[in-house]
Amino acid sequence: MKTITHWIDGKPVESTSGRFGAVYNPATGAQEKQVAFASVDEVDAAVAAAKAAYETWGAASLAKRTAVLFKYRELLDAHRDEIAALITAEHGKVHSDALGEVARGMEIVELACGISVQLKGELSTEVATRVDVSSIRQPLGVVAGITPFNFPAMVPMWMFPLAIACGNTFVLKPSEKDPSASYRLAELASEAGLPDGVLNIVQGDKVAVDRILEHPDVEAVSFVGSTPIAKYIQIKAVEHGKRVQALGGAKNHMLVLPDADLDYAADQAINAAYGSAGERCMAVSVVVAVGDTGDELVGRIAERAKSLRIGPGTDPESEMGPLITREHRDKVASYVAGAAAQGAEVVVDGTGYTVAGHEDGFFLGVSLLDKVPVTADAYRDEIFGPVLCVVRTETYDEAIALINGSRWGNGTAIFTRDGGAARRFQLEVKAGMVGVNVPIPVPVGYHSFGGWKDSLFGDLHIYGNDGIAFYTQGKVITTRWPDPSDGGINLGFPSHS
């Protein structure tokens, strides 16, 4: 059985911990690989390699860094199908969805290729007589990333390309459920000419995570995952004096006003709720139907939901693949029965779904729940699966109060033809990312990604300008070059004159 191990100092490193985790093919339910779990010593070795590499990489010219990144982008483009196939094999998402993941990750590599513009700095001349002040941004040193299973290529690419473009070195701890894609990203980075030790990967579990959070040579930690773990990451990282950005969970609402194009809204609700089997932190998990739109909208969503083709991600006919593990599938399915018991109407029940020839796969059909009470677990919890809740309100004001009352504030959307209503919504809603007739408003690479409330822990969002600020520290330099005629002693407090 193949073992996925660590990538440290520019080469594969076999684990000596003796601990391993199973890596399954979700479409068949079979274990096809195992992943090594790092010991504390192995994490320390990765950090030591990154620290040694920083001595030269941190001082490397912007031209050298960007030359490597341009080559890296070229290699990613050439190998995108291969990376997508690794994602499908271990995560389960359909190949087209996996290709889209790789493409969105490459956006940040492209942003990193232009880092020279972002790190120009500022200069003010003659702030006082013959005094100039400049501001520059410098790298932090060794930084780390801890990434989730649902985007095993894209989320790592949200982190390390910008970090290394800014002059840092990086230690990545990917999800143990689908580790091969990120390992391949590291191999390609080395092939692109990235010096040994600049990008390192340690596979593992909580042992590796805790050592990263505690290690004195790690200056900053980026994280994407669930809210409970994001809170833990923030507390532990700050406790050990580190800069931290920790992106947590979500319960994204899609508000549909009576004037909306209901066919378009139904199409987008299907795409946003059930794409990638709902295993997206930006998935729409609640549709808020305002006024008399509810019955018609629910009918159109249900009609579309019943026609979705569910099957292995390798099948070109499949529109949705399996969930990541058997345990997660069963947990998601339990919310459907629980919602019915708590007063919701089950319009489409996807539990008990099987795919012929793949009966042991981790498949689940799509479910649609209508008139869901806001007290129901299906509404209150992040389900992270193909379950869409519909909540009805009489007015826009009631709907905005409902959305703003959520503990999460990751993404949200409004569907309407009314520009005034859309403008009011984008100003009033308490969420970090807002879509107007766009159900999954994930920003392009040069704008930053991140939510509010329990969806973000830390002050800065990920990638874009916030990402560059996170991976650098500012320095202000005040200089005076006196004329030969200047001189004398003056013990008074210096003034700007």
Smallest CA-to-CA distance from 468 within 120, 127, 70, 90 is with 120
The HSE-up count of residue 60 (CA atoms within 13 Å, CB side) is 23
Chain centroid, CA 413 distance in Å: 19
Distance between CA atoms of 166 and 138, rounded to whole angstroms? 7
Question: What is the DSSP annotation of 257-280?
Answer: -TTS-HHHHHHHHHHHHHGGGG--
Smallest CA-to-CA distance from 165 within 203, 198, 126 is with 198
Distance between CA atoms of 256 and 263, rounded to whole angstroms? 11
CB atoms within 10 A of CB 24: 22
Catalytic residue among 113, 166, 281, 389: 281
Query: Cα–Cα distances in Å, from 67 out to 76, 192, 194?
Result: 14, 9, 10
Distance between CA atoms of 435 and 69, rounded to whole angstroms? 31
Distance between CA atoms of 252 and 273, rounded to whole angstroms? 10
What is the token pair recorded at 344?
């919701």
Asked if 389 is an active-site residue, the reply is no
Q: What is the DSSP secondary structure assignment for residue 385, as one 8-state letter?
A: S
Tokens 């309407």 sit on residue:
416
What is the token pair recorded at 179?
């580790």
Residues annotated as catalytic are 281
